[in-house]
Every structure is written in C-alpha cells, then in structure tokens.
C-alpha cells in the first residue's frame, strides 16, 4: 500500500469543522478531558457525515502546560484511544465490506490497509524524531505538520528520540473507527477516514531476533511497562470518481499507558 501521500485541502478543512454540538469525554483518561464536536447529520451514530460550507470551527479543551519530563510530550490534543470498541468494530466491518470495497475500491481490504499503515507509522515517527519535516510533506496534512512542529520544538532530545517506532515493534493494532464522509455540494465528493491504534514494545524486534518472546503479563512488569507505547493515527483518503488520491495522516499522537495510570 502506497503511503507517499498528497495533501487534501478539502479534508483539512473538514477536521476544523463543527456542526451540531455533541460533547465527548475522554473515558480512557482519569482527568476526563472534554472535547466538543458538532456533527451534522450523524446517522445512528454511524459516523457517516455530510459536510456543510466552511463557516465552522472546532473547539477542544486541553492543558496548555508542558508535560512532566518523565512523561511523553503530547503531539496533538486528542483523546487517547487504547482499546477497541465492540460496536465500532462491527460498524467497521460493515463499512469495509459492504460500502468501501464494493463501491469505492474493489481491492480494499482492512488487513492490507493495517499492514501498510504500520509502515507509514515507522516512516513518520522516525522523521519526527529526526526533525525532518521536509520529508513529512505529503505524508501528513499541512495543518497537522504545523502543529507537530510547534509541539516538537518544545521537546528535549530524549523526548524526541522516544517518538521513533519500528513497525516490527508493534505487537497489536486495530482500526478503532472508520468514517465515510460525503460532501454537501454538487461535486459529490466522498472520503474515507480510518483511525488506527498501535501497541508497541520498544526492542521487541531485537528480542524476536534472539528467539525471545515477551511475557503475556508484561504490562505488569516494571522492566517492560516503561517500554510500552501506544500510537493513535488517523488516515484519510478521497474516493471521488476521477480523483486519484492516496492515504494521508490528519491526526497522530503517541503516549505511554503508564502516563494514563499516573494521571
């Protein structure tokens, strides 16, 4: 799967849009960070949206203070996603098999997408750690790239090095949510957005090369806990007829599960 991606200005604007107000709480975090989204025409909570014009905004609350040095620095303000949702997983299967594959892309499969997305995570995370923003153009949307530059500029060298993830260190991954987006204009533009979650253990690839396997209860062991990292990446692609677009990242974040426990 090709993740050398093009910028999509239309979908950049979409993620800055709020429609009718719905308030979500970050249930995976002890401090219950509040995010406000206003969605228009949400169909049975299925995340099929119709886009209005550009007179819209997005608001979210967050702590503007810098993270403690022992914690990972925040890349973007977004609720941390750790585990799958049973009901979202059912909708994801329906969207992928009954809508995306027959009507958008007959070669699309979730398994192939997940495999290619891991490679994208490795490339993007390594470029962020190196501060190579030029190479990230086309891989992430321009507005996200600007936010990432601001966040990384406040990080120490050690914090930046923590961002790099190898695809072989990812031991668990899943699509958390698939969204199908239709524009509300005469162009009938349509987009697919997939939010992915990756669990990684630093040094896992080295362990496997030595013939070692991490214990099943590694999350409870101090020597492993600090090496576990979770990444949230959101990919978007336009599937309008006659438009040749590739998957682009329009949101990403890295965090440690221990940081959520400490909160």
79-136 confidence digits (pLDDT tens): 999 999 999 999 999 999 999 999 999 999 999 999 999 999 999 999 999 999 999 9
Q: Quote the tokens at residue 20.
A: 């009718």
Q: Quote the tokens at residue 209.
A: 């090369």
Domains in the chain: boundaries: 72-177+193-262
The 10s digit of each residue's pLDDT in 161-213 is: 999 999 999 999 999 999 999 988 777 899 999 999 999 999 999 999 999 99
The 10s digit of each residue's pLDDT in 220-245 is: 888 898 899 999 999 999 999 888 88
- What pLDDT does residue 262 have? 61
Rounded Cα–Cα distance for residues 11 and 51 (Å): 10
Q: What's this model's pTM, rounded to 2 decimal places?
A: 0.72
Task: Tell me which H or E stretch contains 59.
Answer: strand 59-60
């Amino acid at each position: 799967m090709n993740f050398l991606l093009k910028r999509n200005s239309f979908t950049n604007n979409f993620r800055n849009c709020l429609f009718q107000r719905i308030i979500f709480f970050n249930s995976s975090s002890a401090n219950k960070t509040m995010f406000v989204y206003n969605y228009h025409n949400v169909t049975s909570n299925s995340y099929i949206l119709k886009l209005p014009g550009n007179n819209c905004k997005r608001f979210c609350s967050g702590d503007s203070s810098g993270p403690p040095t022992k914690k990972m620095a925040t890349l973007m303000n977004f609720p941390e996603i750790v585990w799958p949702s049973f009901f979202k997983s059912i909708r994801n299967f329906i969207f992928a098999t009954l809508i995306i594959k027959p009507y958008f892309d007959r070669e699309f499969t979730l398994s192939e997408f997940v495999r290619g997305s891991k490679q994208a995570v490795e490339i993007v995370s390594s470029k962020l750690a190196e501060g190579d923003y030029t190479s990230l153009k086309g891989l992430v949307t321009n507005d996200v790239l600007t936010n990432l530059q601001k966040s990384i500029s406040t990080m120490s060298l050690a914090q930046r090095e923590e961002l790099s993830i190898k695809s072989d260190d990812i031991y668990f991954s899943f699509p958390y949510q698939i969204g199908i987006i239709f524009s509300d204009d005469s162009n009938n533009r349509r987009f697919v957005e997939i939010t992915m979650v990756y669990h990684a253990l630093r040094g896992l690839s080295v362990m496997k090369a030595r013939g070692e396997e991490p214990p099943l209860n590694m999350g409870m062991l101090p020597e492993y806990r600090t090496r576990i990292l979770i990444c949230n990446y959101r990919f978007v692609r336009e599937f309008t007829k006659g438009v040749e677009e590739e998957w682009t990242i329009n949101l990403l974040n890295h965090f440690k599960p221990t940081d959520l426990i400490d909160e």
